[in-house]
Amino acid sequence: MWLKYILLINIFLIYYASAGPKVKPSRFNEEDFNFDDVVISKFNLSSLSFRLPNNTVPIHYDVSLLTDIHLGNFDFFGTVTIDIRVVEASETITVHYRQLSISSIDLLDFSGNMLESNVDFEQIEEVEFLVIKPHILLLEFNRYKVVIRYRGLLRTDDYGFYRASYFNEEGKRIWVATTQFQATDARHAFPCYDEPQIRTSFDIRIRHHQRYRALSNMPVESLLPAPINGYVITKFQRVSSMQTYLVAFTVSDYIYEENATVVPPQRVYAKPQSIHNNEAELALRVSPQIMLTTEIHFGINYTFPKMDQIAITDFDAGAMENWGLVSYREIFLLFDPLIRTTRNKEFIITIIAHEFLHQWIGNIVCPEWWTYLWINEGFATLYEHFLPHFTYPEERYDDLFLVDVMHPVLQVDANPNIRAMSHYVEDPVSIDLLFDWVAYNKAGSVLHTFMHAFGFTIWKNGERNFIHDRFDNFANSGHLYAAIQRSIDSYPSINPINVAEMMSTWEHQAGFPIITVTQTFAGQLEISQERFFYDKNTISSNIWSIPINYATASNPDFSSTLAMEFWGAQRTYTLQPSSITKTWSQGDWIILNIQQAYYYRVNYDLGLWNLIIEQLNLDYNVIHVRNRAQLIDDAFHLARAERVNYGMIFGLMNYMWQETDYFPWVVSNRAKTSLNRWLMSSSVYSQYQRFIRHNSARYFNKLGVEFRDDELLIDRYGRSVIISLACGAQLEECLRETNNELIAFIETGKRIAPEYVQLIYCNGMRTANVLHFLSMKNRLLQTTDTAERTRIIAGLGCTQNTDLLFSFLNLAILPGIELSTTEQNRILTQSASNGEDAIRIMMKFTRENFVAMSGISVNTINNVLTNVAMYIGSEKLFTEFEQLITMLVVNGGITINQFVALRESARVNLNWQIDYLEPIAEFFNTWQP
């Protein structure tokens, strides 16, 4: 299952925040439960456990469903016949169910002869158990058939067997019945043994109206008339072995586009207007290439006879790897180049790669329990970038892994409440919470670490061992480690490595290490490790087995990411310059973690940092581009953790006036977003802006503002970054060119590429005249496109003309203007990040119009002031803000509690400046462009 769209939203929330990482805290049980020796039938659970007793196991399901979804009727009816085998003599059969009304249950012998009709049963809702209680003893090793008839209601939360809908080209609402079963929702569609390690065969048939089409994991075996006129019964070919959470079916009027020239044939299903608009073209072009790359990588062909992908309008999970019928939210499968961006295109490619990878790891090999979800999602997250990299190497998807996957989770994983990768839970709510940063980004980053440390050939062979060993079976981490160990052992020249001992330190411990490097007078490197926290006073006893590699000034070879040494789980370690492959002298810079292949941060003593800075300014290309990005990212977060001073960060970024590669720039932009807020209105802000203007000029001049069809995706991403930085710092060329693009759009209708619409609206508006401002305001009032209205509001809020800004804010309270409450609030909060003048205008407007503002919503005034408070950067501005909120609390505009919170929030930047501004000021006192 793919949750990246949620994760990416959180990336921005986290990177743009000044406090520690904001993640949902997970409960972590320090006493790790060992599942390596667990046998399915022997769990010895208490009566409150959510785990099935497994005294019986399924050997086949026959599922029959009836739906009238074409009428908008949300009831469904079902009959499931489960062939079971008795593991140990029992008086009951226990299966899962959820929100189903059970009509009757029959017990038959394995030949189909009735043993007992209308069998008694008990429904234990707390643990979602359906306990079947025949009057006969179920004999050990015997086989039986259980026939359960039931009724259900299609859900509205996008899980289980649920209803979705879309509006056709005539504006009529069309209903769709579809499924999302991972992790514990198959039990809503049919009573079943709904645990991931249990897999068996399935027959599925669905009765539906003939105007609709039914799809499932396998191809259609037969399509026959139903007894009711106008209905048909679609029966699918048997699935030989599969987990319940991978079962999928849909009933809809969708049509498809097909690539029948590949094996297996591939189809993309979607609502008719999307297919007619050729929005499936990208997915159909990319999917066979990704499939072939995956088959070659694993040396195992895809095992199902078809690969259908379906775009669902209402799909909360993002995407789901159902075998043979992969489901996606529409925006993650369909692509319209006229309205979708390069980032949308990248998401589609990486998500397809993620879900296709699961067809091997996740489907062929499944987790023994949700404890090992990280194996599924970690591999899929790793290869969602590396499969496209193998397929389209020029696009540098492998580099994108670092900035889009590893860097964000390094921040999240510093939270002291974060869980370890393996984490045992039983109840459905807690299981759902396992689909988090740790299961995806962290697990992917840890696997990335050892893929590079062991070497790609060894790693690939280990993966192949893993799939062959556990083919059509469940697996745990011990199985994975053993498979990699066999691969390593087949290369006798490699130093002995205990894979399980090493990798388990990453599996069972929360967080990650920071490596501190100190050069002694004798030239040795003393390195130490500890768990990284933003609060230095937080202490942890965790230590990891860590792969080490490095480049030096004497040997600046960044080409190999293999581990030179493996540092056992010890607190300290010494590297000798005379006893290793890469030597160095006393005056050499040294950089650990070549290409940032490994999942940890690195800090250096001040002397080593200064040597690295000297090299960057002398010839930055000597240091690998990934390490340049790593140095900036590590240094910024080390400063946040008070391990280096902020002045050093500016020294490190001083070389960037020469830098024209996207990756150091995107990392720098993330740091500068926070720095801009902390420094706004401070005594060094004008120098800071000058620094950004100087650094960004060359990269801006390289890329400009014009979209080019033949350019690489990283140049398109780089353009977005550099326009924001350069125009925000008032670079004249940026302001001029974006303004020209906006004028051309207003006056001639020149098309703006989708990814740059927001950037051109905002930055072009910074210097726009009154007529162009009014033109965009009229466009706002005339268009009914919600997304376009949002972009225009954001653009208008960027004006640097204070009179126009005041009139823009006034738009939110003018009578007769058709704006939603959300849009009114957006207008009033949009401009907070646009400088001290904008802050003063927002405060002036609030002072004069707080009564009208309170009529928008009860939270409007507080929301506006909360945004303002985030950018208070001088004592003078703080005094003005304090006077404003005092007036408001006296006059009932805000509560006393809001006053206290706002005042405290407004001091955050000032307190930060007290603690950290001095070394930044010292840097600017000596800095010359």
Residue positions forming the annotated binding site for Zn(2+): 354, 358, 377
Count the helices and strands in the chain (H runs, E runs): 30, 31
The residues, any chain, with a CB within 8 Å of residue 797's CB and separated by 6 or more, are 762, 805, 808, 827, 830, 831, 834
First-last CA distance in the chain: 49
Q: How far is CA 836 from CA 212, 676, 873, in A?
A: 59, 12, 9
Q: Find out whether 428 and 196 touch, Cβ atoms under 8 Å.
A: no
Please give the helix or strand (H or E) that residue 746 lies within, else none: helix 732-748
Number of Cβ within 10 Å of residue 794's Cβ equals: 19
Residues at the binding site are: 354, 358, 377
Q: Find out whether 627 and 558 touch, Cβ atoms under 8 Å.
A: yes
Q: How far is CA 64 from CA 107, 110, 546, 649, 857, in A?
A: 17, 19, 53, 64, 50
Report the candidate in 225, 233, 177, 235 with the shortest Cα–Cα distance to residue 208: 233
Spatial strand order in the sheet of 319-320: 255-259, 266-270, 307-312, 325-329, 319-320
Secondary structure class of 386 (helix, strand, coil): helix
Q: How far apart are CA 288 and CA 293, in angstroms?
A: 9
Question: Residues for the chain: how many in total?
Answer: 929
Q: How far apart are CA 668 and CA 653, in angstroms?
A: 8
User: Two tokens at 440?
Assistant: 């995806």
The residues, any chain, with a CB within 8 Å of residue 866's CB and separated by 6 or more, are 902, 905
Angle CA(85)–CA(86)–CA(92) in degrees, nearest 5?
120
User: Two tokens at 558?
Assistant: 């960044």
Q: How far apart are CA 892 and CA 52, in angstroms?
A: 58
Per 3-state DSSP, the chain is made up of helix, strand and coil in percentages (nearest 5) of 45, 20, 35
Instruction: Say which residue the tokens 């060329």 belong to.
Output: 733
Phi-psi region of 324 (alpha: psi -120 to 50; beta: other; left: phi over 0): left
Q: How far is CA 69 from CA 75, 164, 211, 647, 696, in A?
A: 8, 10, 11, 63, 56
Report the candidate in 26, 91, 25 with the shortest Cα–Cα distance to residue 53: 91
Spatial strand order in the sheet of 525-531: 572-575, 525-531, 513-519, 601-604
* Active site residue ranges: 355
Report the candidate in 829, 811, 656, 626 with the shortest Cα–Cα distance to residue 729: 656
β partners of residue 114: 108
Q: Buried b vs exposed e over 675-706: b needs ≥16 C-beta within 10 Å?
A: bbbbbbbbebbebbbbbbbbbbbebbeebebe
Report the candidate in 838, 844, 855, 839 with the shortest Cα–Cα distance to residue 893: 855
The residues, any chain, with a CB within 8 Å of residue 65's CB and separated by 6 or more, are 76, 77, 78, 189, 190, 204, 205, 206, 207, 249
Secondary structure class of 236 (helix, strand, coil): strand
